[in-house]
Amino acid sequence: MGHCLSCFKNQANADVTTSPHRKKDERLPKPFYQKLPSIPRTMSSLGANDSRVSESKINQLFDQYKDSLEEAILAEGIENLCNDLQLNPDDFKVLVLAWKLNASQMCRFTKSEFIQGLRNMKTDSIKGIHSKLNEITSELKRDTEHFKDLYRFTFKFGLDVSTGQRILPTDIAIVLWRLVFTNNDPPILDRWLLYLEKNPHIRGIPKDTWYMFLNFCEFIGDDLSSYDDTEAWPSLFDDFVEYENDQMNQNVKKNDISTQD
């Protein structure tokens, strides 16, 4: 993914601004990705740790990585930060860090985002950030609500805010889906992403489709036979299921012919 999480950002198609995949009167299905049990929010990374942090150290840390011409940590600074954290720029933990800093766009941490984010994480050093990211990553494997928050953040994070982009270009969405599901990928994920890659006419993923993909995974697991197209799903899901069923039927016919031979 290049030098930071925005290496694919320039591929964004800024003129994709409408939602072609949403049905009228669409409502959100009731279950929402509740495969994993929620745990009490008492962990240190969520604020239970009262250890004090040094404002001056946080500011010094920001100054160490900030751009020479702008009060923000940009691509080169983020790459250096990743190196010091012993992380690849496309590591899942870098996405987690951006989430905890509430970064408004890829490859850019503003001063306020960085300082407030480290305050909330209750750390003021590279060692502390590294430790907190390990803790938070472990928590995300168990805490459904926090993973849901990270998942929703990822959509916003992928948008090009400078152009007012509201729909995620499909090529970026594919990369971000793979990234956000690094530690808990749904059984259907690979087939879904392959479908998107094989259909370049699908130019963008609107927010409702991104959000409801979690519901989609919850409802069908790895068995598309349980999918009900009379429910209020985005039409893109209908198209995907129809495509997969057609592929399955073709495979069955091929197997039947082979058996007869």
Torsion of CA 237, 242, 244, 249, to 10 degrees: 170
Whether 144 contacts 36, CB under 8 Å: yes
Partners of 73 in the β-ladder: 109
Which residues, given as ranges, of the chain have pLDDT below 50?
Answer: 1-3, 6-8, 10-19, 24-50, 252-254, 256-257
Domain chopping of the chain, boundaries: 1-10+30-162, 185-261
pLDDT in tens, 45-98: 334 344 689 999 999 999 999 999 999 999 999 999 999 999 999 999 999 999
Please state the φ and ψ torsions of residue 7, each to the nearest 5 degrees: -60, -25
Q: Residue 198's pLDDT is what? A: 96
Nearest to 188 by CA among 158, 148, 149, 220: 220
How far is CA 153 from each of CA 103, 143, 175, 248, rounded to the nearest angstrom?
9, 16, 15, 35
Q: Are 95 and 5 in contact (CB under 8 A)?
A: yes
Q: Classify the C-alpha dihedral 200-204-206-207 as positive or negative.
A: positive
Architecture of 185-261 per CATH? Answer: Orthogonal Bundle (1.10)
1-10+30-162 and 185-261: same fold?
Answer: yes
Dihedral (Cα; 104, 110, 115, 120), 10-degree rounding: 10
What pLDDT sits at residue 218? 86
Class of the domain covering 1-10+30-162: mainly alpha
